[in-house]
């Protein structure tokens, strides 16, 4: 017979209830601050900062109370992997943000390279362009009158 050891890594019901109550409170604070116009007089950056802080606290509560990443024999690996994932996500978000700013700068005339033409081009309908660009078809090819019959 082999010896089996079982480690119970079970969280208590109290820990789940605490996590649930904290999650509900954080969600209600974020929701009610927007819906009841508690932060209307704030600048946009202050509003975003408040909501981001509440979201980060909410993620921390979820990680500690529900995902149990800080418990068990692989706790250090779990936390390290989570940080690597967070860094990768922020690199992707920052790169996308920077790319979009660069594109917006170049496309919307911020670079100073956009010149204004003195000529105004009026739009034409697509059907006029298609009619003018289609070559005439030799009707004798279609009806077969020029075909050579085998002898």
DSSP E strand boundaries for 63-133: none
Per the structure block, which two tokens stand in for 103? 């594109």
Domain residue extents for the chain: 12-67, 72-110
Model confidence at 105, in pLDDT bands (50, 70, 90)?
Answer: confident
The answer to whether the beta carbons of residues 15 and 65 sit under 8 Å apart is yes
Is the overall model pTM greater than 0.75, yes or no? Answer: no
Return phi, psi of residue 124, to 5°: -110, 160
Give the HSE-up count for residue 132: Cα atoms under 13 Å, Cβ half-sphere. Answer: 6
**CA dihedral of residues 31, 33, 37, 40 (deg, nearest 10):** -130
Q: What percent of the chain has pLDDT over 90?
A: 42
């Amino acid at each position: 017979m082999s010896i089996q050891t079982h480690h119970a890594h079970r969280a208590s019901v109290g820990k789940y209830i605490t996590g649930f109550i904290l999650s509900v409170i954080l969600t209600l604070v974020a929701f009610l601050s927007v819906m009841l116009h508690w932060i209307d007089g704030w600048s946009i950056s202050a509003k975003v900062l408040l909501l981001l802080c509440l979201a980060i606290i909410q993620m921390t509560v979820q990680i500690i109370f529900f995902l149990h990443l800080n418990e068990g024999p692989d706790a250090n690996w779990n936390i390290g992997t989570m940080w690597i994932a967070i860094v990768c996500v922020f690199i992707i978000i920052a790169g996308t943000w920077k790319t979009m700013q660069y594109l917006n700068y170049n496309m919307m005339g911020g670079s100073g390279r956009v010149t204004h033409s003195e000529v105004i081009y009026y739009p034409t309908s697509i059907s006029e362009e298609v009619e003018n660009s289609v070559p005439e078809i030799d009707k004798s090819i279609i009806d077969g009158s020029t075909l050579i019959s085998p002898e």
